[in-house]
Amino acid sequence: MKKQTQTLGVISLGCSKNLVDTEMAIGLMKENGFQIVTKPEEADVLLINTCGFIESAKEEAIDTILEMAEYKKKRCKTLIVMGCLVQRYKEELQKAIPEVDLWIRFQDYDTFWEQVKSVLKPEREEQTKLDFRNRVISTGDHYVYVRIAEGCSNHCTYCAIPSIRGPFRSRPLEDIIEETKAYAEQGYQEVILIAQDTTKYGVDLYGQPKLVELLKELEKINSLKWIRFLYAYPETITDELIEVVKKSQKICHYFDIPIQHIADPVLKRMNRHSNGKTIRDLMVKLRKEIPDVVIRTTVMVGFPGETKVDFEELKDFVKEAKFDKMGAFAYSKEEGTPAERLKDQVHPSTKKSRYRQIMELQQEISRQNLKEKIGKTVEVFVEGKTYDGKFYLGRSYMDVPDMDGVVILKAEKDLEIGKFYFAKITDVREYDLIAEIC
């Protein structure tokens, strides 16, 4: 009797950088004979890639592990957990959740398949290494993430990423170009370059930043329509980079710049490498040089020592800057980080109040920003339909997948999924645009 193919169910938590690891793991398992399934109850093996960046992410990861462990009472025979949470807490997790058969840390990724083989009896072995070239893309047929560097060397005092993922390590320019060309040949029209700090790409390998050179090379790939890069740190956004984005027909006029704060005392305690003046000057320059630029940022409230004056300065700057998109989070005390030992920790209720205030402020700004777009024409990438099938859903250059809003399209004729159309904005929702095909 022929042995039944083993099935694999996968859950990926956290950021897009984590998702790339997940896609490489799926590719490795598929290449070695596993059938991928989307329902956990159909999986012989369950694989979870975890995030452990902040407290809420850790809680989500543990809840997911425990939920998936319940399937071991049914069909699932093997539960594998990888990622940031494992890197930080492997020993504690092994003791607390014995239902997990294999915990894989980052330093074990080079021997990923050997680790898997130690708990499974695979049908065959065709591939033994995690490889960018054998990823199973999970984001659909239209866009793909390309990770250009790993780790971080900025050492912000609140952040555990350097201790989790190690120092900043750029990939060779040629490898990234080769990988991107392969995706373009497969039909992907949008690539999103990702790293913890894309603007520092190349410094460790070449002695100087190489993001501009990389972008220029990717622009030469004819079948690519859109190129994005996330994230750009304010102190390393050069005039040269701004000029390349400004002149490009492919690089989206979109900057995701995590400023974290604007008050100098807070930025100094965070060990950020910019200050209030350089951030303010950058925002003015970007809007002057690229009038249609979209600026997204992230801010943190409740950092140790943040005074009421500091917070009011942040609120005033958010009003002044009128960010197109903004995310916020309350400071989370992470063990092993320098900020954990700082005095003047802000009371949880104060952090919660400040978070609510800053988000309510930004929601109103976002509404006003969107209303100003009514009557304008934008190019929209159609990606699907609404659940009821009445409207099409797409994105403009202003929208990063799964992070920003969408464009809800009304059309008199059938539209082709995966194609670009021009549309006139007629109305807005809280974060979304409503438009009609021109």
For 345-360, write each residue's pLDDT tens digit: 999 999 999 999 999 9
pLDDT in tens, 392-413: 999 999 999 989 999 999 888 8
Among the listed residues 51, 49, 42, the one whose alpha carbon sits nearest the alpha carbon of residue 9? 42
Q: Of 132, 161, 190, which residue sits at a domain end?
A: 132
Instruction: Identify the pLDDT of residue 62.
Output: 94
Q: How far is CA 203 from CA 76, 129, 169, 173, 177, in A?
A: 45, 27, 9, 12, 17
pLDDT at position 198 over 70: yes
Domain containing residue 85: CATH number: 3.40.50.12160
Residues 6+ apart with CB under 8 A from 37: 7, 8, 9, 43
Mean residue pLDDT across the chain: 94
Question: Does the residue 2 lie in any domain?
Answer: no
pLDDT in tens, 425-438: 999 988 899 999 98
Mean pLDDT to the nearest integer, 110-117: 92
Q: What one-letter code names the amino acid at 267?
A: L
Contact status, residue 287 vs residue 260, Cβ threshold 8 Å? no
| 339 and 232 within one domain | no
**Binning pLDDT at 50, 70 and 90, where does residue 1 land?**
very low
Mean pLDDT to the nearest integer, 207-236: 96
Q: What one-letter code names the amino acid at 141?
A: D
Instruction: Identify the pLDDT of residue 3.
Output: 61
Contact status, residue 18 vs residue 102, Cβ threshold 8 Å? no
Question: Does the residue 1 lie in any domain?
Answer: no
| 99 and 20 within one domain | yes
Instruction: Identify the pLDDT of residue 54.
Output: 80
d(CA 407, CA 426): 11
Instruction: Identify the pLDDT of residue 55.
Output: 83
Sheet holding 45-50, edge to edge: 35-37, 7-12, 45-50, 78-83, 102-104
| 264 and 328 within one domain | yes
Q: Of 324, 352, 372, which residue sits at a domain end?
A: 372
- If one counts the domains in the chain, the total is 4
CB atoms closer than 10 angstroms to residue 164: 22
Q: Of 222, 252, 282, which residue sits at a domain end?
A: 252
Question: What are 274's two structure tokens?
Answer: 């910019």
Range with the lowest mean pLDDT among 49-58, 284-293, 358-367, 372-381? Answer: 49-58
Question: Does the residue 418 lie in any domain?
Answer: yes
Range with the lowest mean pLDDT among 91-95, 121-125, 142-146, 269-273? Answer: 121-125
| 244 and 261 within one domain | no
**Binning pLDDT at 50, 70 and 90, where does residue 44 land?**
very high
> Domain of 393?
377-437
| 235 and 169 within one domain | yes
Q: The whole model's pTM is what?
A: 0.92
Longest pairwise C-alpha distance within the chain: 74
Contact status, residue 278 vs residue 286, Cβ threshold 8 Å? no
Residues 6+ apart with CB under 8 A from 308: none
pLDDT at position 239 over 70: yes
Question: What are 5's two structure tokens?
Answer: 């193919």
d(CA 48, CA 157): 29
Question: What are 21's two structure tokens?
Answer: 């690891």
Domain containing residue 156: CATH number: 3.30.750.210
Cis omega (within 30 of 0) on the bond before 231? yes
| 118 and 67 within one domain | yes
Mean pLDDT to the nearest integer, 134-159: 94
Q: What percent of the chain has pLDDT over 70?
A: 99
